[in-house]
Amino acid sequence: MSDVVTESSRLRIRRLRSADAVSLQRVYGDPDATRWIGDGRTLSLEQCSQWIETSRHEYDARGYGLFALESRATQDVVGFAGLLHPNGHPTPELKYALRKDQWGRGYATEAVRALLRHAVGLRIREIVAVVAPENGASISVLLKVGMTPAGGRIDADGAYTQVFAWRSLAR
């Protein structure tokens, strides 16, 4: 069975492999890349390996989780994206992060579009994304892919985040 779940013109979106821990840590170990993710803390290589195991369980349980974004041209992992259920929330939440040297190339928009198409195939009806109001680049990505502002919330750390929603038209 192939570990590729979907593709776009430049990206292969695939399940995580154990060997991806180093690539995952390259993204999630960079303070600039994690500035807008969760509590902003970087992750160790061991924590990244645990993420891979968690995602493998999610693939089995739900059919999705965190995926590697692999360049079709070079086979390099340029980032990660997926649908997660933080704190057991019932609605899947869209997450994505790229290597800093890959920012500004349109990969986030391309990956999110592909993941939303994949979600339709999985019969997912709603997805949310949360973003800090100061994260203009991410807000731009969410608006480009058709997500709509859906209010805001105060996170556990007291920070205000905007919520964006996507709803499938497929029934």
Single out the residue of 145, 128, 11 nearest to residue 79, CA to CA.
11
d(CA 99, CA 159): 25
Is CATH 3.20.20.70 the right assignment for the domain spanning 4-167? no
How much is the pTM?
A: 0.92
Low-confidence ranges of the chain (pLDDT < 70): 1, 170-171
Q: What pLDDT score was predicted for residue 170?
A: 63
Q: What pLDDT score was predicted for residue 1?
A: 53
Q: What pLDDT score was predicted for residue 162?
A: 96
Q: What pLDDT score was predicted for residue 118?
A: 94
- Every domain of the chain and the residues it spans: 4-167
d(CA 56, CA 39): 23
Q: What pLDDT score was predicted for residue 86?
A: 86
pLDDT tens string 116-154: 999 999 999 999 999 999 999 999 999 999 999 999 988
Degrees, nearest 5: CA angle 141-53-132? 25
Q: What pLDDT score was predicted for residue 167?
A: 95
The two structure tokens encoding residue 168? 């499938």
Q: What pLDDT score was predicted for residue 13?
A: 98
Q: What pLDDT score was predicted for residue 127?
A: 98
Q: What pLDDT score was predicted for residue 149?
A: 97
Q: What pLDDT score was predicted for residue 147?
A: 97
